Amino acid sequence: MLETTPQTLVWLTIAGAAAVTYSLRIGGLLLAAKLPKTGPFKRFMDALPGTILLSLIVPAAVAAGPIGWLATVVTALVSLKSGNIFISMVIGIVIVAIGRWYGL
Amino acid sequence: MHQKLWCPRHLEMITSRQFDDLRAGFNANLVVAASVGAYGSVLGLMAAQKGLTWYQLLIMNLSVFAGSAQFVMVDMWLPPLPVAEIILAVLVINMRYLLIGASLNPLFQSTSLRHKMGFMHLVADENWAMTMARFHKGGTTTWFLLGGGICVQSAWCCGTLLGHRLGAVIANPERWGLDFSFVAVFTALVFSFWSGKRDLLPWLITAMTAVGAEALLPGKWYIICGGVAGALAAAVLHRGPGNA
């Protein structure tokens, strides 16, 4: 029988979490290499980066309240006009920080 | 084919182009890495309160390397450790890496298995988004991805260890809008993927599905639901010349 001291459990948990996470990362890449490169599969994979990114943004922006909506729109506009990711990001953060400071 | 990735002989063979991409990737992620570090310090403080030692935390950072999953792990960190429950929670939260990994396939085209296995470990949301945006605009290499990963990983380790030893550097990152920095960087990048009016409907479907799923489902399922629903819509709708 494996002795389950608290130390063993700590390392077991970390090792398990690491194994699961790495499997997902490498698994997605290796699975995608096996998918067909034409037709609907290709269109699905081509669209995926944009839709994942959008899914990361929208609920978080909605949850950030009116000041978050404003900051998201301004960040988007600055990014579209200037193409500068750094500037657009900083402006968005500053808007939210100022808004929070004044309790908006 | 079988390049020895981590041995010194190979390191000498990194070309200057690869090194430039590595450095560009590192620099591109510096701003968002500052936020990653600030959140790391909050996690470090939490971990210290839960009795994790600094080296346990460091090894968790280096091996798991997933922010939101690690927050949940530390949150559930009460002896006796619910090992299976924690690992299951990590699996569910990190499920999106299956999609993120899949979307990186074009970037990793014609690289060896060893290269893939070495480079995929340092994929986080932030450096993935930066890399994909650049890849869409004019192309880049896996070295840009790795450079970003090294940047984010370094900030994450410094932040968490600082938080663990000294307390949170910024006790309340929300006060400074730092929680928004992740939304901001993704928003600044998302238009790189806009390919015209034909994306409108898939993106609307993505947004509505993500918001709906976030309200109804726990954890990070909304990312998978929104991402898959929108890409499915694109697969069905984007038929026609040039989209074979």
Across the interface, whether the CB atoms of A17 and B86 are under 8 A apart is answered: yes
CA distance A4 to chain B (A): 10
Q: What is the pLDDT of residues B116-160, one digit of tens each?
A: 999 999 999 999 999 999 998 888 999 999 999 999 999 999 999
Across the interface, whether the CB atoms of B193 and A50 are under 8 A apart is answered: yes
The residues, any chain, with a CB within 8 Å of residue A5's CB and separated by 6 or more, are none
Residue B80: which of A9, A15, A26 has the nearest Cβ? Answer: A9
Across the interface, whether the CB atoms of A28 and B101 are under 8 A apart is answered: yes
d(CA B67, CA B164) in angstroms, rounded, equals 15
Give me the torsion for CA of B189, B97, A22, B186, rounded to 10°: 20
Contacts of B206 in chain A (CB under 8 A): 51, 54-55, 58
Residues in chain A: 104
ipTM of the complex: 0.85
Q: Which chain B residue lies closest to A68 (C-alpha atoms)?
A: B180
pLDDT category at B5 given cuts 50, 70, 90 is low
Q: What is the pLDDT of residues B149-161, one digit of tens each?
A: 999 999 999 999 9
What are B210's two structure tokens? Answer: 């993500």
* Domain coordinates in residue numbering, chain A: 1-34, 39-104
- Closest to B33 measured CA to CA, from B175, B191, B160: B160
Residue B98: which of A24, A68, A75 has the nearest Cβ? Answer: A24
The residues, any chain, with a CB within 8 Å of residue A3's CB and separated by 6 or more, are none
Residue scoring higher pLDDT (B2 or A57):
A57
d(CA B78, CA B86) in angstroms, rounded, equals 11
The predicted pLDDT at position B74 comes to: 93
d(CA B213, CA B224) in angstroms, rounded, equals 9
pLDDT surpasses 70 at B84? yes
- Closest to B97 measured CA to CA, from B222, B224, B187: B224
The residues, any chain, with a CB within 8 Å of residue A16's CB and separated by 6 or more, are B83, B86, B87, B90
- Given the structure tokens 């500052």, which residue do they identify? B34
Across the interface, whether the CB atoms of A13 and B73 are under 8 A apart is answered: yes
CA distance B122 to chain A (A): 9
Substitution target in A48, A75, A94, A98 with the highest count of B β-carbons within 10 Å is: A48
Q: Does the global pTM surpass 0.80? A: yes
Residue B120: which of A14, A25, A75 has the nearest Cβ? Answer: A25
Task: Convert A30-45 into a string of H (helix), E (strand) and C (coil).
Answer: HHHHHCCCCHHHHHHH
Do the beta carbons of residue A68 and residue B212 sit within 8 Å?
no
CA distance B157 to chain A (A): 15
| Angle between helix B16-28 and B142-166 (nearest 10) | 40
CA distance B11 to chain A (A): 23
CA distance B117 to chain A (A): 7
Residue scoring higher pLDDT (B243 or B159):
B159
Rounded to the nearest 5 degrees, what angle is found at the Cα of B73, between the Cα atoms of B104 and B93? Answer: 35
Residue B125: which of A54, A56, A75 has the nearest Cβ? Answer: A56
**Chain mean pLDDT for chain A:** 90
How many beta-carbon contacts under 8 Å exist across A and B? 279
